[in-house]
Amino acid sequence: MSSVVFPKRIFAAGEEPSGERVNSYHRARRTESIIDALDPEELAFLKNSTFAKVIALDENPPFSGAFGHFILVRRLKTNKKYEIWILFAGYPIRFSLREFAIVTGLNFGKVPESTRRKRKNPLNEKLYWNELFGSLKSCSIEMVVDMLKNRKVKDRDMRIKYACLAITSSVLLPSSHSPKIIPEHVELIRDIDQFMAYPWGRVSFQLLMSSLLKKDEIALAQDSFSLRGYVDAIQLVMIAAVPALKEEVVPNQPLLLEESESETEESVGDDAQRAVETGVGDKPPAPARFVINPKNARDLNAECKVNDNFPLTSYQ
């Protein structure tokens, strides 16, 4: 690889910002709470659906904000739309719709024309929302989990619908640390088959990339910055290209709650949010999760160890 001339890096080698983390709006623990609230038969349905990979939390370490920052400040300057290239261990690793599809297993067809136009005020049209959520003007993911866990909804098909809505809002398309059910998705789930066949992969990818590509050198140089969408996919692509990344994991240490200037909303690390969620009331602290060891990532980067079998495509 030494003879290959790469595009310029956003930050020169050795001059990358030494920031702390990338803040993700997706919380692995929130996904866990959805899974734990389901009956075995309901969970089996999801594990055999298009959402199987994104709810398989035990197969890979949860997203590491520190690792995310480490790799994203090593991007190359390229002109292609909706893709980025990361120079890691001497290799350019692409993150595009193709790689997103490989690691998530989601549907990536074209978005149906009729669903691209948002209704001006879907809650006032008394559509399927009223059947699922009654007079509620909005519904948080925590409320849905409570409905499932305490069996306020008993019908199997309806319970699966609630779980699917929670997954699209908090896993695939999160844009807040307190995600709520997205009204446009509710009408779509009237027909569960239509909902499951929807190109969630393309929609999720577009949200993530639109958030990521807005980050210029100034934003990337901050101690922390936030990304909307399924940020975990970036780490999953890196693990596919460099499997040794997950061979060493460390406990994810709590971080102080602080705001980020990179997004309009407050942005906190996964552990900081967990501290807020578990530090109030009588709930015991959640056990620490194990994430990619940043030191191991730095060592692998220096040793130039990459999986040659992972598809690496032209960045020109």
Of 5-19, 162-176, 278-292, the poorest mean pLDDT is in: 278-292
pTM: 0.83
Q: Find the farthest-apart pair of alpha carbons in the chain and give their distance in angstroms, rounded.
A: 65
CA distances from 84 to 1, 166, 209, 227, 253 (A): 19, 29, 9, 14, 29
Provide the 8-state DSSP code for 87: E
What's the sign of the alpha-carbon dihedral 145, 149, 154, 157? positive
Residue 79, pLDDT score: 84
Q: Do 21 and 227 contact (CB within 8 A), yes or no?
A: no
- If one counts every other C-beta atom within 10 angstroms of the C-beta of residue 262, the result is 21
> 291 pairs with which residues across the strands?
250
Q: Is the pLDDT of residue 34 over 50?
A: yes
Report CA 75 to chain centroid distance, whole Å: 19
Q: Which residue has the higher pLDDT, 257 or 21?
A: 21
- If one counts every other C-beta atom within 10 angstroms of the C-beta of residue 207, the result is 18
Q: Rank 12-21, 253-262, 299-308 by mean pLDDT and report only the highest.
A: 12-21
Residue 132, pLDDT score: 96
Distance separating alpha carbons of residues 76 and 311, to the nearest angstrom: 17
Q: Do 236 and 242 contact (CB within 8 A), yes or no?
A: no
Per domain, the residue ranges of the chain are 1-25+63-111+205-311, 27-59+112-198
At 81, the pLDDT band (50, 70, 90 cuts) reads confident
Q: Is the pLDDT of residue 273 over 50?
A: no
Report CA 138 to chain centroid distance, whole Å: 22
Q: What is the residue-averaged pLDDT of the chain? A: 85
DSSP H helix total and E strand total for the chain: 15, 6
Distance separating alpha carbons of residues 6 and 21, to the nearest angstrom: 26
Cα angle at 179 between 183 and 154, to 5 degrees?
65
